[in-house]
Amino acid sequence: MIRIEDLCKSVDTSEGLLTILKSISLNIDAGEAVAIVGASGSGKSTLLGLMAGLDTATSGDVVLDGQSLNAMDEEQRAILRGKLVGFVFQSFQLLPSLTALENVMLPIELKGDAQAKEKAKRLLLRVGLEERGHHYPNQLSGGEQQRVAIARAFATEARILFADEPTGNLDTATGAKIVELLFDLNREFSTTLVLVTHDELLAQKCDRIVRLVAGEAVSDEKTSARDEEVASV
């Protein structure tokens, strides 16, 4: 589903060229859940941005569902994102002037779907916020905001979900609930999940863990979760 080939990213700074990612290659299969872990500044969010086509690599390529991002301009990448990709962010990224329901409706509306409202309502019901649809983001708790964000991420039935520190802004108990919801929906929609986190427990829930240290992928290992899942199958 996702193939990363020799991906490098460096930026110009006042102190010279700074290399953020060094020659990363990776394959992620459809339906797989992969955690990218690493310390702060290890380049994991940069890698996520490149994989999702939000940024361009200095060299190397990302191939999403058979399509090379390198060969596309921003417009074409945007269209591809619209077709394939959903996001969950650490800071939720809900639009403050839209209600919870409207936030979920937005990506469905963008597809020109006349059933946007009904679909969004169903998703809010699924994340347990059917009563809070008319509330604005600043009237919701952090956990509630993230649940809206998850509902929005699944609204377009994206085949790949990128999650950037989804529990980073939440307390442990709320974080645990959110993680549960995220993985439930992931299974329900058979989505490929790429999750950036520094939380080992959260990472362990994925099928694979890719560890980044100073921009380099130092390990890529299967987790017990994968084994359990395989066993249960």
Site residues (CB under 8 A) for another protein? Answer: 45, 48-49, 52-55, 65, 67, 72, 74-83, 85, 87, 89, 91, 93, 95-98, 102, 106-107, 109-112, 136-138, 156, 164
CA-CA distance, 111 to 30, in Å (whole number)?
23
Nearer to another protein, 192 or 223 (CB): 192
CA-CA distance, 187 to 200, in Å (whole number)?
21
Nearer to another protein, 84 or 127 (CB): 84
Token pair, residue 5, equals 């080939």
Identity of the amino acid at 98: L
Nearer to another protein, 59 or 139 (CB): 139
CA-CA distance, 106 to 124, in Å (whole number)?
13
Nearer to another protein, 146 or 223 (CB): 146
Token pair, residue 215, equals 């921009």
Count the neighbouring beta carbons within 10 Å of the beta carbon of residue 161.
Answer: 25
Rg over alpha carbons for the chain, rounded to the nearest Å, is 18
CA-CA distance, 209 to 61, in Å (whole number)?
21
Nearer to another protein, 108 or 225 (CB): 108
Q: How far is the CB of 163 from another protein (least distance, A)?
A: 11
DSSP character string of 15-49: TEEEEEEEEEEEEE-TT-EEEEEE-TTSSHHHHHH
Q: How far is the CB of 138 from another protein (least distance, A)?
A: 4
